[in-house]
Chain A
Amino acid sequence: MTAARLVTRRVVELLVVFVGVSFVIYAMVFALPGDPIAALGGDRPLPANVVAQLREQFHLDEPVWRQYLYWLSALLHGDLGTNFAGQSVADKLALRWPVTITLALTAWLIEVVVGVALGLWAGLRRGRAADKAVLAGTILASSIPVFVVAVSAQLLFGVRLGWFPVAGTAAGWPMSYLLPAACVALFGLASVARLMRGSVIDTLHSDFVRTLRAKGLPRKEIVGVHVMRNSAIPVLTFLAVDLGYLLGGTVVIEGVFNLPGVGNLLFQAIRAHEGPTVVGVSTALILVFLVTNALVDLLHAVLDPRIRHA
């Protein structure tokens, strides 16, 4: 298959998934119990005409699918909508996005570099002390809740040792982000390391590695060029899915380290029944997730010629 066809197919798939998933989220948010308009007034009930006007403005009396279509057509015009308080969702997102993206990408980078390196190291020393240490470490890392890790790391490295800022984004990238990113990355990192280890062991046993040895290539080149590239292919799939998890899973960390990201925004919006914000934030998250997945699939095709020609 040509590269152009592969790209076109991915884009079409992306659009279909986007419409489907955003509709589900839309329907779910509007099915939440409680009347968001009534909640707006707090203890004092809003005047009937104001309620009617808001209900009309947000199309609340129409069926869900019509509401969804209004929202979708607005989105096509670049409008993510406004929340019930009249603020533009896009503006709020623009303010928060950079923080979350920076956090997630930093965490992802840590997973890729440290996870792949540890996996390779352990895989090459299968059955020896280093391998066993890495395996034990990964089990430990994935069994401690993120919250516990975050709070302990904050206490140790932020408060006691003072190596990193305790909270906030005042110190900018990388100092403000490294510690929270490392905490989010820990779980995925353990999986990456284990996956990579298994993948390396499989590759080392394959016939072509025997051929490379018979060719007299130095071990460094066999491992660095051939084993690395072949082993990375299965790990890549996991990394793609995990970036989505990192983007959505930063709520806790943003809370602990007081980072003003979208995770924080999403949490507040759900509590306040701010439907448009929830849908807006989730949609943006889905979009980022889908786009990164599409990019990783293309990277997959670059790394593995069998996919390109399938």
Chain B
Amino acid sequence: MTDSTAPAAPVLTVRDLSVTFRVDGGRSPDVHAVRGLSYDLHRGEVLAIVGESGSGKSVSSMALMGLLPRTATIAGSARLGDIDLLDPHADLEPVRGARIAMIFQDPVGALDPVFTIGYQLDEMLRRHVPGMGRAARRARAVELLQMVELPDPEQRLRFYPHQLSGGQCQRVMIAMALACDPEVLVADEPTTALDVTVQQEVLDVLRRLRARTSAAIVLITHDMGVVADLADRVVVMRHGEAVEQAPVEDLFVRPTAAYTRQLLDAVPRIGTADRVSDADQRERPVLAVQDLVVEYRNQRGRHVRAIDGVTLHVQPGEMLALVGESGSGKSTLGRCALGLAPLTSGTVEVVGVRLGESSRAALRRARTSIGVVFQNPGGSMNPRYTIGQSVGEPLRVHAGLRGAALERRVGALLESVELPASWASRYPHELSGGQRQRVSIARAIALEPALLIADEPTSALDVSVQATVLELFREVQQRFRFACLFISHDLAVVDELADRVAVMHRGKVVEAGDRRSVLQAPEHEYTRRLLAAAPVPDPVEQSARRRRRLAGAA
């Protein structure tokens, strides 16, 4: 793990790498995505490049692979053995895939949907190992799939990407990238699109591969937990420049750059927040779900239970976090509370109105007392409305506010989410992701709802932005005293925010209770697995956890 001190020459030497994008045919100022980045990558080493969106971490690696569009100007050098990857005159096609390979963030999209994974593996070998016969290639493909621990590799060769899960697709991508024993593997956010337990499996695969292949890995990620889990050395990037380079143990314990410290502080951790819930459990709940079942019919006409007998309640002023992985039914439950999903059986009662049984008028009234914040703040706002119009819309429709009164109220709402009231005339595209999510929150609380449903409100945001939005969310909730159903996959975020936690797995609530008891003394096996799978931003703690987990599995 610490052979970064090896005296041998580095596998990859990057010097003064700069990438500049010409924007709008040269009419707008150029964007300097990467400025003077230098690093060495040694044999068998995992070098993490960490940064938030726009830091240039992905662009710098795309440049190495020659994947940037024509509008990019690349300067500097990147020596891989005897060749320079950035030399515009060199023939790099035979090098790509064979000596430097890459895996991407969205593994399902990264595979061609209309060819079998066997074909796509075979293609790689056919391209780079000309002398290899058909049978030998097939044997190698099976061996590769075994190496990434995909079950039944022989059969899986005939599968198409859509028949595999996201985690399995990422394993196939890894197998493909390693097919020709490359010297360097570039992994661009390899686990970001995956559920936390799947992420852990893929990280385990990558970790075990280090022992079996000689490839050095460039790991691009925004997740400090992943860095702590896998990296030997870290480059922290901001605004296209490296602000700090350090071995992983030093970086977490003694960060030298102020930005690194800020980044580490922003990462939510379980068990740090100390709060007391003041919600009264005897009051009449704002949201009461009783024995709820939601079934869908899939294309084969079979019934699929998205929600399977869920009972829960949210008290006034209380924040209940609904936690689970994709497909657990947590978002469906949120949609049920909004009256947007058909109920198969059971009841949902929102602010005293029973969905499905009450009149349309009663439902309409009930809806005005529910606010919603979605994951993608850009997609849930009308791009042709100013943010003032977006925030004011519910007030106009439901409260009948007009003119100066409306303007005053919109201004006050924007200020309550710490945006200047004068921004009301701006359009969503002029705002950053975090600012847009503030606008979403302002809109959701415009009618002073009794219940707010927040579906993964911060998971599309960078950590430092997420930290400020979460803080704001907490403040606003305490000020307006609404009940909140907070849907999230991130246990650490939930720990910072929620009063109670309900863990969902395959449509059922497997464990529910006080935040502390669920997250610090989990009773259900699945909750324990979730907690163990989330990597903590601390390399020492993380490797200890890994040892415990692997010892437990053996």
Measuring CB to CB, which residues of chain A are less than 8 angstroms from any residue of chain B? 1, 206-208, 210-218, 221, 226, 229-230, 233, 303-306, 309-310
Do B112 and A212 touch across chains, with their CB atoms under 8 A apart?
yes
Tell me whether A309 and B160 are in contact in the complex, defined as CB-CB below 8 angstroms, given that A214-B102, A216-B98, A217-B123 are known contacts: yes
A216 is contacted by which of B112, B113, B114, B128 (Cβ under 8 Å)?
B128
A260 to chain B, nearest CB (A): 43
18 A–B contact pairs at CB < 8 A? A207-B110, A208-B113, A211-B110, A213-B67, A213-B96, A214-B67, A215-B101, A216-B93, A217-B93, A226-B115, A230-B114, A303-B114, A304-B114, A305-B116, A305-B160, A306-B162, A309-B163, A310-B299
Contacts of A230 in B (CB 8 A): 112-114
Do B110 and A305 touch across chains, with their CB atoms under 8 A apart?
no
Tell me whether A226 and B112 are in contact in the complex, defined as CB-CB below 8 angstroms, given that A214-B97, A216-B98 are known contacts: yes
Taken together as a complex, chains A and B put the C-alpha atoms of A300 and B114 apart, in Å, by 11
Q: Apart from A211-B102, A214-B96, A215-B101, what are 9 other A-B pairs with CB-CB below 8 Å?
A: A211-B104, A216-B92, A216-B94, A217-B93, A217-B123, A218-B93, A304-B113, A304-B114, A305-B116
Taken together as a complex, chains A and B put the C-alpha atoms of A217 and B66 apart, in Å, by 13
Q: Tell me which of A212, A229, A233 has the highest count of chain B C-beta atoms within 10 A of its own C-beta.
A: A212
A204 to chain B, nearest CB (A): 11
Do B101 and A305 touch across chains, with their CB atoms under 8 A apart?
no
Do A305 and B111 touch across chains, with their CB atoms under 8 A apart?
no
Contacts of A212 in B (CB 8 A): 112
Contacts of B111 in A (CB 8 A): 208, 211
Taken together as a complex, chains A and B put the C-alpha atoms of A212 and B106 apart, in Å, by 14
B124 within 8 A of A: yes
Q: Which of B270-320 contact A (CB under 8 A)?
A: 299-300
Contacts of A217 in B (CB 8 A): 93, 97, 123, 127
Taken together as a complex, chains A and B put the C-alpha atoms of A69 and B110 apart, in Å, by 55
Taken together as a complex, chains A and B put the C-alpha atoms of A303 and B95 apart, in Å, by 31
Nearest 7 A/B pairs, CB to CB:
A216-B97, A216-B96, A207-B109, A215-B97, A305-B160, A214-B102, A208-B112
A131 to chain B, nearest CB (A): 15
Do A306 and B67 touch across chains, with their CB atoms under 8 A apart?
no
Taken together as a complex, chains A and B put the C-alpha atoms of A52 and B98 apart, in Å, by 86
Do B124 and A210 touch across chains, with their CB atoms under 8 A apart?
no
Do B65 and A206 touch across chains, with their CB atoms under 8 A apart?
no
Taken together as a complex, chains A and B put the C-alpha atoms of A93 and B61 apart, in Å, by 66
User: Taking CB as reference atom, which chain A residue is nearest B186?
Assistant: A214
User: Taking CB as reference atom, which chain A residue is nearest B97?
Assistant: A216
Do A210 and B104 touch across chains, with their CB atoms under 8 A apart?
yes
Do B162 and A305 touch across chains, with their CB atoms under 8 A apart?
yes
Contacts of B173 in A (CB 8 A): 211
Do A305 and B113 touch across chains, with their CB atoms under 8 A apart?
yes
A215 is contacted by which of B92, B160, B176, B299 (Cβ under 8 Å)?
B176
B104 is contacted by which of A207, A233, A304, A306 (Cβ under 8 Å)?
A207
B69 to chain A, nearest CB (A): 10
Contacts of A207 in B (CB 8 A): 104, 106, 109-110
When each residue 167-196 of chain B gets 1 if its CB lies under 8 Å from chain A and 0 otherwise, what string results? 000000100100000000000000000000
User: Taking CB as reference atom, which chain B residue is nearest A306?
Assistant: B162
Contacts of A221 in B (CB 8 A): 127
Contacts of B124 in A (CB 8 A): 215
Q: Tell me which of A1, A208, A305 has the highest count of chain B C-beta atoms within 10 A of its own C-beta.
A: A208
A306 is contacted by which of B66, B98, B113, B116 (Cβ under 8 Å)?
B113
